[in-house]
Amino acid sequence: MHSKIEVRDLDFYYGSLQALRAISMLIWERQITALIGPSGCGKSTFLRCLNRMNDDIPGARMTGEVLIEGEDIYRREVDVVELRRRVGMVFQKPNPFPQSVFDNVAFGPRVLGLVDGRGELGELVERSLARAALWDEVKDDLGRDALGLSLGEQQRLCIARVLAVEPEIILMDEPCSALDPIATLRIEELMRQLRERYTIVIVTHNMHQAARVSDRTGLFWLGELVEFEETGKIFTRPGQRLTEDYITGRMG
């Protein structure tokens, strides 16, 4: 096992406001890393630093390094489109395109030219839907409107859309916050399955979820990484008093 992502001394600013301070972290390949902490503590900002989604925010700037497989993704010559193919994002609310189920999954491969024929594209769509645990529910009507799916199905469709462009890393920003408990458990089980192929980083406010699905957990607080350890240790033997106070509900 080796690290997939290495973050070194990352500072992040929105204009004059410093949102992240001196974040350093190793994220291991084919593990689930959970980021917890109260609202506004920098978790989502940090997550978006991992595929440069903050680049388009006016006045935003970052110092430090983010390395994927040893390559600094903030070098000037890095192809950001290719980076975001390698590092996919699943958002808090499902955001399927107002198109068919098939066209949602096929969109990225078509744009990026990843497949040659309709048959090859069909195989890729089926494989992606199967990996997202959605194939059995939609296989009989791939032409149906994606917006007609349940919220849980829409979120799995969005995961299939990410998988279709063959990423290495999947970022998830509170992917279950809009879902009911049953749909949430389906997504959690899916994450455990996907961990066999992909490196996953998830932001969650649900500490029970972090405890259930993740291998390592980091606590963010006021823009700083307070503690980052194996999940079992974080939740049973935290090394920092602030971590213990947050987990037990005394703070945050």
Spatial distance between the Cα atoms of 187 and 159, rounded to a whole number of angstroms:
10
Q: What are the residues facing 65 on neighbouring strands? A: 8
How high is the pLDDT of residue 54? 95
Spans of all domains in the chain: 3-99+173-247
How high is the pLDDT of residue 91? 94
Residue by residue, pLDDT tens for the chain (252 residues) are 789 999 999 999 999 999 999 999 999 999 999 999 999 999 999 999 999 999 989 999 999 999 999 999 999 999 999 999 999 999 999 999 999 999 999 999 998 888 877 778 999 999 999 999 999 999 999 999 999 999 999 999 999 999 999 999 999 999 999 899 999 999 999 999 999 999 999 999 999 999 999 999 999 999 999 999 999 999 999 999 999 999 988 866
Q: Label residue 206 exposed, middle or buried (CB < 10 Å: 0-12, 13-18, 19+).
A: middle
How high is the pLDDT of residue 12? 98
How high is the pLDDT of residue 114? 84
How high is the pLDDT of residue 252? 61
User: Could you confirm whether domain 3-99+173-247 is CATH 2.60.40.1250?
Assistant: no
How high is the pLDDT of residue 116? 76
